[in-house]
Chains A and B, each alone.
Chain A
Amino acid sequence: MHNPSKLTLALAALAFAAAATAPSFAAEIRVMCYQDGNECDVTKELAKRFETENKDVTVVVDTVPYKAITEQLPVQLGAGEGPDIARVTDLGGLSRFYLDITPYVKDAKYWEANFGKALAWLRASPTDKGIYGMQSQLTITGPFVNKTLFEQAKVPIPGPKATWDEWVTATKAVAKATQTPYAMAWDRSGHRFAGPAIDYGAKLFDAKGELVIDDGYKAIAKKFVEWNKDGTMPKEVWGGTGGSSYRDAFEEFKNGRIVMYLSGSWQIRRMGSQIGKAFDWVPVPNPCGPAACTGIPGGAAFVALKRTKSPKEVGRFLDFLAREDVYGEMMAKTENLPAHSGVAAKGVSYNVGPAEKAALNVFVGEVGKLSPIAYQIQGYKLNRAIFLPTVTRLSQAIVGEMSADDALARLSKDIDEQVKAAAK
């Protein structure tokens, strides 16, 4: 009574099951990648070239949203799961999952010479000397302004040493004259906030090297809350959502609803493609406070993960990406600033329009002005302990849920709790 149809049904079921969990046979390394512009697409291209030069390795690049990197990846890594390489921004926070690829790269000294400072950001402690990944870009935070609006309002653009207050006055005048709804907006991010904080004298670290909310931080925080409340800045960027989730104000800038936008160099490509010639967008040097005129360096890095079963291949792929010609090409195509000193010295031949070129040069000029505190906070393993609660608490102050003083007091407590929890 056995019908062939029964057998085929069973086989079909097996095929279904197999298809959903297909194994692979070559040495395969998976790269979990997020992109602001086209970084993952370019990486895919370069990975294909790597595969032709290294026929025994397959490189699969997964483009995932930024949220997956910040929320899913750490939990996966905690369970011993995840990719072989990941493009991450919380460089220090995930350091306990990194693999030291020093034994797997061709020349460790090459890495030290070219990626020196950035390598430090990936290390768990100052005495650590391992190579844990490759900095895929150097980003710097800084403001963009809508030059066309300044011209329409006939207001001169403030000079390079102008203070935040002067910029607020100028942009408010421009907004009024051109009937633009708001003067300025900052991305909803503690990392973005840190720049102006350092400008206003925040030291971020106390004598013992621990995070602290000092008078400088409090001063800028209070100013920022005021600016949001009095209509200088749009409330909905920081106040329109809850928790500590990231939100940028790119759309507001693109739609001409703000005159000035504090973001960073990674937005250049997006500005070029989405704003284009609609108006003149130009980055300007970071405004000054009493203490500094700094942005915060950063950038995503391709990190090697301990859990990989193919460490040699991981090393080879990262070595490939770190090659001067390959890295230079990646920078040119993604319109990012190089973290590779060799490439930076030679200069990158960006194939971009004049607006983008000028923009990149402005940011290159900012590198020299970075405050040492900026480098320190970027490299600090637990910087999320101050970045995320800053967003949550200041948002609460902005929407009037608590006073700015209460918010700052809470912020201090949050930092302590998180640092204590991480220490266990």
Chain B
Amino acid sequence: MSVRTYLLRTHGRTRLDWTDWVSYLYLVVGLFLMFGPVLWIVVSSFKTNAALSEFPPSFLPAGQKTTEVKGHEGRLPVFVVKLPDGTTKEMVELRRIGLNATMVDPAKPDEEVQVNINDRTKTRELRVATENYTQLFGKFSFGRYLWNSVFITVVATLITLLFNSMAAFALSKYKFAGQKAVFLLIIGTLMIPPTIILVPNFLVISNLGLLNSLWGVIWPAVATPTGVFLLRQYMLTIPDELLDAARMDHASEWQIYWRIVLPLTAPALAVLAIFSVMWRWNDFLWPLIVLSKSELFTLQLALNSFQGELQTEWNYLLAMTVITIIPVTLVFAFLQKHITTGIAASGVK
């Protein structure tokens, strides 16, 4: 079939009607709205501080041209200067005192000209400020924060998968007194916003000696009600006959759990793993309370604290934000299919 027909095929219908066009328009607008802001922040993170304070902001990162002049150290800023005879020329500024700037033509570095600062304008060129990122590594112990975030995320996810699947197994494959109550209790904790129990939890953690320890961040987070709910929903679909057969073969309950039920729950486990990675990576308030030693900070903590600190050194702030988004974006790019189908599958019925 021709290219045109291929592009406009509609899986059955013979031609596109207006609802199709509206749908595609909606999707494209949605694409722009969902990705646009993130794209903007990525582009902005490559701008110099000076470029960031320009208004209206340009799309591409730009900065003032700098050049070297014989006899002077370092790179000096280039301006477009309005000369007394009305012409304009590109000149380099050596120094500025008050309203007076001392400029030179780079070709004739010995002829200094005094120019009023109102008669000059900055030059622009495309300038990708990668130093926002490289200096970040110097300024903050970036590698350290990254390691802390990764450690917490990986360990917490593994433990979450284990504990939640055990609990879901108990709640789905058995019938025992108090089962419903336990289930409701677990789900009920969904309605406790962590802020409410912040201070008492802090007391508990400090009494357990887990303050200023990555484990103090990990342990409270591993028993997720959503995880138990998700896995239980899925495990309910596993036929009980499999378990009964195994029991007749004298398998222990643990073996049934580990060798039969758990492998069959793999898709739901994958979804929970992705969620857990996302939650732990993005954890903010709780680590903020538990960790005060800077070498234990996670990336999110570092990001927030430097938000308050440099308050407004936006160039570093933006770069750090972008770096924090990268792992999540990678997870999204590679595992997006699993996430979206997984939620749909074990979604609330």
Contact = CB atoms under 8 A, between A and B. Distances in A.
Contact of A21 (B95, B215, B292): B215
Given A62-B294, A68-B305, A81-B206, A75 B289 contact: yes
A413 interface: no
A66 B294 CA distance: 12
Nearest to B306: A65
B199 A75 contact: yes
Contacts of B308: 65-67, 245
A62 B293 contact: yes
Nearest to A247: B311
A72 B292 contact: yes
B311 A152 contact: no
Nearest to B54: A255
A422 B289 CA distance: 22
Interface in A256-303: 277, 280
Given A151-B99, A255-B53, A277-B95, A248 B206 contact: no
B317 to A, nearest CB: 11
Contacts of A64: 292, 294, 305
Given A32-B292, A62-B294, A255-B53, A76 B211 contact: yes
B292 A248 contact: no
A65 B305 contact: yes
Given A21-B213, A79-B202, A248 B311 contact: yes
Q: Looking at chain B, what size class is its interface with the partner chain? A: 20 to 34
A423 B120 CA distance: 62
A123 to B, nearest CB: 26
B99 A20 contact: no
A187 to B, nearest CB: 11
Contacts of B292: 32, 62, 64, 68, 72-73, 76, 82-83
A63 B312 contact: no
Contacts of A148: 98-99, 117
B288 interface: yes
A416 to B, nearest CB: 24
A79 B203 contact: yes
Interface string B84-103: 00000000000110110000
B311 A79 contact: no
Contact of B288 (A16, A72, A81): A72
A29 to B, nearest CB: 13
B275 interface: no
A250 B310 CA distance: 10
A68 B312 CA distance: 18
A151 B309 CA distance: 33
A108 to B, nearest CB: 31
Interface centre among A75, A147, A247 (most CB of B within 10 A): A75
A80 interface: yes
Contacts of B215: 17, 20-21
A248 B289 CA distance: 24
Interface string A222-251: 000000000000000000000001011011
B295 interface: yes
Nearest to A178: B118
Given A21-B215, A67-B305, A152 B294 contact: no
Contacts of B295: 62
A65 B206 contact: no
Contact of B151 (A20, A65, A248, A250): A20
Given A62-B294, A75-B202, A251 B289 contact: no
B28 to A, nearest CB: 34
B36 to A, nearest CB: 24
A67 to B, nearest CB: 5
Best-surrounded residue of A20, A62, A83 (most CB of chain B within 10 A):
A20
B309 A79 contact: no
B323 interface: no
B214 interface: yes
A79 B293 contact: no
B47 to A, nearest CB: 14
A251 B199 contact: no
B118 A152 contact: yes
Contacts of B305: 64-65, 67-68
Nearest to A22: B213
A192 to B, nearest CB: 15
Interface string A78-100: 01111100000000000000000
Nearest to B49: A274
Nearest to A34: B309
B211 A152 contact: no
Contact of B206 (A21, A68, A80, A250): A80
Contacts of B199: 75
A269 to B, nearest CB: 14
A23 B199 CA distance: 26
Contacts of B212: 81
A70 to B, nearest CB: 10
Nearest to B308: A67
Contacts of B288: 72
Interface string B110-126: 00000001100000000
A37 to B, nearest CB: 12
A350 B235 CA distance: 71
A20 B214 contact: yes
A81 B210 CA distance: 11
B96 A277 contact: yes
A152 B119 CA distance: 12
A151 B101 CA distance: 14
Given A17-B215, A81-B211, A66 B312 contact: no
Interface in B48-88: 53
A280 B98 contact: yes
Interface in B302-344: 305-306, 308-309, 311-312
A250 B312 contact: yes
Contact of B289 (A62, A72, A247, A255): A72
Interface in A301-326: none
Contacts of A147: 98
Contacts of B53: 255
A251 B317 CA distance: 14
A65 B309 contact: yes
Given A65-B305, A79-B203, A83-B292, 11 more contacts: A20-B214, A21-B215, A62-B292, A67-B309, A68-B305, A75-B199, A75-B202, A79-B202, A251-B311, A255-B53, A277-B96
Interface of B: 53, 95-96, 98-99, 117-118, 151, 155, 199, 202-203, 206-207, 211-215, 288-289, 292-295, 305-306, 308-309, 311-312
Ranked nearest first, the 3 interchain pairs of A and B with the lowest CB-CB distance are A65-B305, A251-B312, A65-B309
28 contacts: A16-B151, A16-B155, A32-B292, A62-B292, A62-B295, A63-B294, A64-B294, A64-B305, A65-B306, A65-B308, A66-B309, A67-B309, A68-B305, A72-B288, A72-B289, A72-B292, A73-B292, A76-B206, A76-B292, A79-B202, A79-B203, A79-B211, A148-B117, A151-B98, A245-B308, A248-B311, A250-B312, A251-B311
